[in-house]
Amino acid sequence: MSPQLLFQLHLVFGYVAWLLCFRTYVWPRLKSMDVFDAQRAIATLHSFRFFGLAFMLPGVVGAGLPASFTVFAAYGDFATGLLAMSALLAARIRPLFWSFVVAFNVVGATDLIVDYYHAVQADVPMRAGEFGAMYAIPVIYVPVLAITHAAAFYLLLRPQMKMVPGY
């Protein structure tokens, strides 16, 4: 099996596994939560995206991964992680919290989309072995990030039910 096909299979199955897990365990819980608490949970997951900077750490990924992919991915993840942490830190100032929630989701989702574009343009799937220690990031971590961005946008955009006193 070619490295490209193996990588693509891993990526697809990463999404399938996370969608099954998310649908069964995570989504019912997030939907039942107050939207503020649900967004805090999603921000907590995304606050770990600072780890993407490791794409620029010599020896962690191979020299065969082009900088057009690794540098953008690293800084996009870092920016998203900082925005997610900022949302968590601003939780007591609700307007600021919501601004950071929107920002980290827009920046983070854009980062993932552009990373996929760069990966296709640079033929990264053919060089999947160059991910080295970071191989788990695109096949295990990125799918759950993409899924939670979609969930966050859904939660932000769905109409919120107002509680009526006495009911």
Residue 48, both tokens = 């770990």
Residues of the chain predicted below pLDDT 50? 167
pLDDT of 129 reads 92
Instruction: Show the tokens assigned to 149.
Output: 């961005």
The pLDDT, as a whole number, for residue 166 is 53
The region, left, alpha or beta by phi > 0 then psi within -120 to 50, assigned to residue 2 is beta
Dump pLDDT digits (tens) for 29-71.
999 999 999 999 999 999 999 999 999 998 999 999 999 999 9
Is-contact 133 7, C-beta < 8 A?
Answer: no
Instruction: Evaluate whether 42 touches 103 at the Cβ level (below 8 Å).
Output: no
Residue 160 is predicted with a pLDDT of: 72
Distance between terminal CA atoms of the chain? 60
Global pTM reads: 0.92
Q: Write out the two tokens for 128.
A: 């999947």
pLDDT, position 161: 63
Q: Provide the residue type at 95 as one letter.
A: P
Give the pLDDT of residue 58: 87
Question: Residue 167: what pLDDT?
Answer: 47
What amino acid is encoded at 19 in this protein? L
Q: DSSP string of 58-116?
A: BTTB-TTS-HHHHHHHHHHHHHHHHHHHHHHHTTTSHHHHHHHHHHHHHHHHHHHHHHH
Cα–chain center distance at 150 = 10
